Amino acid sequence: MKITSTEAWPVELKLAEPYAIAYETVESVSNVFVRIETAGPITGYGVAAPDLAVTGETVQSVLTAWRETVAPSLKGSDPLRAARLMGRLRPALQMSPSVRAAIDMALFDILGKRAGLPIWKILGGYRDRIRTTITIGILPVEETVRRAVEHVKRGFKALKLKGGRNADEDAERVLRVRDAVGEKIELRFDANQGFTFEETIRFVDLVRPAKLELVEQPTPKGEPDLMGRVVDAVTLPIMADESLMGLRDAFRLARRGLADMVNVKLMKVGGIDTALQINSVARAARLEVMVGCMDEVALSIAAGLHFALGRPNVVYADLDGHFDIIDDPTDGAVILKDGTLYLNDRPGLGFDPPA
C-alpha cells in the first residue's frame, strides 16, 4: 500500500452562539480538513483545528506546512508505517501540533479501515462509551443558571463552567448552579489561566459547599510553579490544560507534582499516538487523564473519543467542541445520547464523506 496523493482545505465554521472564556470571545472557527489517498480503495481523513492562542498556528500556517512539508514527504510512502512517517515529519512540524494531529488521524483512519476495525478496539477497547461535560462560557449569573438547568434537562450529567476573570463572581455562579441542578450533577470549573495563586485559593475556599470535581488550569502556563503551589495548598484536584503541550510537559508536570490531573487534547499534543504516550506517563505517576478538545468538527472529536475509549486511565471527557458548529460536514461521526458519547462500529475513525 502506497500513498498516492494528499489534500488539505480550510472550512470556515459558524457557531450557533458565541461564547466567552478568560482571554477571548469566540464567534466562529476554522478547521482544516485533510485527505490521504492510497493506491487501493482506502482513503484516510483527518482534521486540524489551529488556534493561535493555544497551538500557535493559523489556518494559513497549517496549509503552508501541508503544501511545503507534509505532501512531498508522504507521497509514495507506506501509510501503515506511521511511526516512521511521523518520526520523519516531526522535526519540521515541531511547532505545528494540529498539523501532526491531522496526519496522525488520517493514518490511524487508514490503519483501521485496512484492519476492518474501529480504532478504539485497536487501542484496547476498554469501554464503549463515556460521559462528556458540556461547557458554559462566561455569562451573567442568571443566564449561567438557566443554561445549566437546560443542559441537565437534555440529559447531561456533567457541566463545566468557564471563568477566570473574577474569582468572587465565578464562585457565585458555581454556587448558584449547584443549587439549581442538585448534588447528583458533576460540576467542573475551568479558569483558563485567569487566576493568581491568591485568587485560586480564595475561589476554592468560596466554592467548597458546591463540591466541585476539579479546577482546570487556574494559573498562567508560563508560571508552572504557581500551579504546583496551588496543588500543595488545596484538596480539590487541579488539572493542567494549557501547561500540557506535549510529552516533555507531561513528564515535567508528573515529576514535579505540578498537577493532580491532565487534560490531553489531540490538537495540542499532535494526535493519538502522542496522547497514548502521555497517558502512559500520567498513569505511571497516578495522574488521571481527561480527553479534551478545541472547537472541532465531529470527525476530530471522534478521534479523541477513540483514544478515550481505548485506554482505562482516561476517565473524564470534555468532548463538546462540535455541539455548536452549524452545518458540520462530519456530523454523525460521534453519537450523543443523554450526555454520553458513543462511536459507530465502522472501521477506522468511523466516517467517510457522502459519495
Q: C-alpha angle with apex 295: 337 to 266, nearest 5 degrees?
A: 90
Sign of CA dihedral 10, 102, 138, 195: negative
Q: What is the dihedral of CA 231, 267, 193, 173, to 10 degrees?
A: -90
Q: Can you read off the three cell numbers belonging to residue 189?
A: 470549573
SS3 of 262, please? strand
From the list 113, 121, 160, 162, the catalytic residue is 162
SS3 of 23, please? coil
Between CA 271 and CA 213 the distance in angstroms is 27
Q: Give yes or no: 265 in active site.
A: yes
From the list 216, 249, 273, 328, the catalytic residue is 216
SS3 of 333, please? coil
Q: What residues form DSSP beta bridges with 304? A: none
Q: Give yes or no: 113 in active site.
A: no
DSSP 116: T
From the list 104, 265, 318, 328, the catalytic residue is 265
Between CA 152 and CA 154 the distance in angstroms is 5
Between CA 217 and CA 234 the distance in angstroms is 14
Q: What are phi and psi of 261, to 5 degrees?
A: -150, 165
Between CA 282 and CA 290 the distance in angstroms is 11
The CA–CA distances, whole Å, from 296 to 19, 29, 65, 344 equal: 15, 8, 20, 18
From the list 104, 109, 241, 324, the catalytic residue is 241
From the list 57, 170, 190, 295, the catalytic residue is 190
Q: Give yes or no: 162 in active site.
A: yes
Q: Among 108, 117, 107, which Cα is nearest to 3's?
A: 107
> Which residues does the annotation mark as catalytic?
162, 190, 216, 241, 265
